[in-house]
Structure 1
């Protein structure tokens, strides 16, 4: 009984946090960027970390399928978490030489016709622009898919 009450309190707090950020629960799933320059996100308020969200001009199911096709074509990238009910997906991209793993997150917000994105290195401080280039490469690939 106590755990059910705690779960309701946590859900209420998360909902309040998402709404206070000016978004919906759907847009609150993507993690924030750290202070280090090895992350870009369409939800960042910091210009150094900001990358534009992907514009979605097709049906949500089509956009989701296109995203999965594009990620499937990315070398050394695999989907590790998918929550289609909340339109959230997380993939891991592994570097060729040192085998560093980067996290790439997507959050589709159908009512805004946007797909938010975040790409971040797990370790290190500098990424030499790898995450920003990845996001822009994915943007171009999704445009070719009709997004």
Structure 2
């Protein structure tokens, strides 16, 4: 009986310890200081597979920008509309040509930083989506940005 109780306790610790560690990483993660637009460019992706951007050269991180017509205000409004459809997403910064949101994962609340830059000269919406912690995101950032692209592209062609 004593061995069974000890084995049960060890099993519980083996399960709970990693969960608490992951939750701790989530709670301690802060927004990177290099976010925003500098000279028409969003921050580069880190050298890990948990980031996608329209301004990257690496094909594993590269996505195409979203073309648009009209002005930046209309493009930003369409992006905001698409973001409101994503669960656990909040807009944390908005400027005339720039928008940043934070998207949290369901269980551990890991935060991904999602940025948009509206280039009015080229009529393109550039974006970047990156996990704050960890190495792999299981394709979540790419999937999210494909979903947003579909929403924004669809709404821009309806007007």
TM-score, normalised by the number of residues in structure 2: 0.72
Task: State how far apart, in whole Å, the 2-side matches of 1:138 and 1:45 are.
Answer: 21
Shift of 1:83: 1.6
List alignment gaps of at least 5 residues for structure 2: 1-37
Unpaired runs of 5+ in structure 1? 1-17, 19-24
Runs of 4+ more than 4 Å apart: none
- Larger of the two Rg values belongs to structure: 2
- 1:108 and 1:94 mapped to 2: Cα distance? 24
Q: Deviations over 1:57-112 (max 9, x none)?
A: 2332211111111112211111111121xx11110000111110000000000110
Separation in 2, partners of 1:126, 1:64: 29
Counterpart among 133, 137, 140 of residue 127 in structure 1 = 137
Q: Deviation of residue 146 (structure 1)?
A: 1.6
Q: Aligned ranges for residues 27-66 of structure 1 at < 5 Å? A: 27-28=40-41, 30-66=42-78
Matches within 5 A, 1:67-78: 67-78=79-90
Who is 1:118 aligned against?
Answer: 128
Task: Tell me, in whole angstroms, the C-alpha distance in 2 between the residues paired with 1:135 and 1:58.
Answer: 21
How many residues align? The count is 120
> Cα RMSD (Å) of the superposition?
1.2
Cα pair 1:103 1:120 within 8 Å, conserved:
yes
- Give how far 1:117 is off: 0.5
| Aligned mates of 1:34, 1:61 — CA distance in 2 | 30
